[in-house]
Structure 1
Amino acid sequence: MSKVRLPVNKTHWTQHSDCAVVNAYYNRIENSIYFPAGILQGVYFNEGRPNYMNYGGIGCVITHEITHAFDIQGSQYNEHGILVNWWSNETKKAYNEKVKCVIEQFNNFKAEEINMQVNGENTLPENIADIGGIKNAYSAYEKILKEVGEEPNLPGLNYNNRQMFWLAAGTAGCAKLRNEALKLEILTDEHAPRKFRVWGLVTNMPEFARDFNCSKTSKMNPDKKCNLW
């Protein structure tokens, strides 16, 4: 009660205490991103690993959360977390046109095992964050690759450093669900099922097709790619 009518302290520890959670967040009201200690391990991050694993893991998570500030919801809040239109009409119109590509793409994803389509509208903010996130993470990785050079491959894996970035990103994003859980996820979750999140990431990236030499007829290299920025 002593805090009633006092200015809100957005950095107070009680607002950022989920240290054991294996997740990350963007808060539109604060315009802040959270990376609890719980996610800074496992398949996401380890300081002793090659850069391609960390950039494909936690790197994609970090850039995903940053991109949420510019998704269909986050873009409505300014840098102070205030609901206000700070985009020009021309920018907003062009953005909304590009967003239609993402909606259509994910609407066409189908979970064959349960005969259900993904909902591109419901999952739009997360899909925008995924696509923008991996684009920026890959750009950051290419920059560090030029600075430090090629790193050793992992034992038993005959993939170059750029290919390992994509494999690390896919590994961090994969999951196995029962059909019942998959159905519930499509009906209620703001995220697309993991398979389609990973698929949506890589098929929109010309760099992925280049790094794996995908042919123009490959499902992993469609002619139509969604690119917001």
Structure 2
Amino acid sequence: MSNPATTRQRPALAVTVDLAAFTVRDGDLHVLLIERGRPPYTGQWALPGGHLEDGEDLDTAAARELAEETGVDLTGAHLEQVGAYGAPDRDPRRRVVTVCYLAVVPDAPEPAAGDDAAAAAWVPVGSILDGRAAVAFDHHRIIGDATERLRAKLEHSMIAAEFCPPEFTITELRRIYQAIWGHTLDQRNFHRKITGTPGAVIPTGNRTHGRGPGGRPAAQSGPVTGNSSATASNWRRR
């Protein structure tokens, strides 16, 4: 009698990467999407991504696919895995397991469609999560998971500062939190919490001009060194 363990057919599958690249524009959280230029789901929006090449690791494939399909460079950007998705019917062509990445793109450029993408655009996350903007495959779920990961990281990290320039004001930082969480925060409570948390921001000694009377204090994220009292006139990011 044959051993079922040795005769069982193992499924042939492909491994891909998908990217949920986020930025903040006009006070709203946006994700980078491409318009698919070929089947399946031709003409529908989807996350940038594609197959691994021979000898290529996952991180390299993620950065390459984003650059090829949108022209956006991830050099120096925050990049982390969100999870793997492998439902048998997630791709109508064959069995495909994809590894999704979350990327943070500050001061994001306008994307330029390339490779097999017909178009590329920054799309408000809210319009996807509430169903106004349809996306292909299981990308609605993936974008939702990546957004929840991003929101959860606000609770225990300074990932919000990754959306900011090297120096930023506390007001600008608060607006990032508001865009990601999707609701307004009390200005005084936020300022007190951020400037009172060890390791959150570092004073710069500079002032940001042109953003209000006298300029507002600028800040940098990173471990606190020296006096980080909330009465310091400026802040900086490491």
Decide which structure has the larger Cα Rg and report it.
Answer: 2
Structure number having the greater helix percentage = 1
Query: Do the two structures share a fold, i.e. TM-score over 0.5?
Result: no
Q: Give the TM-score taking structure 1 as reference length.
A: 0.24
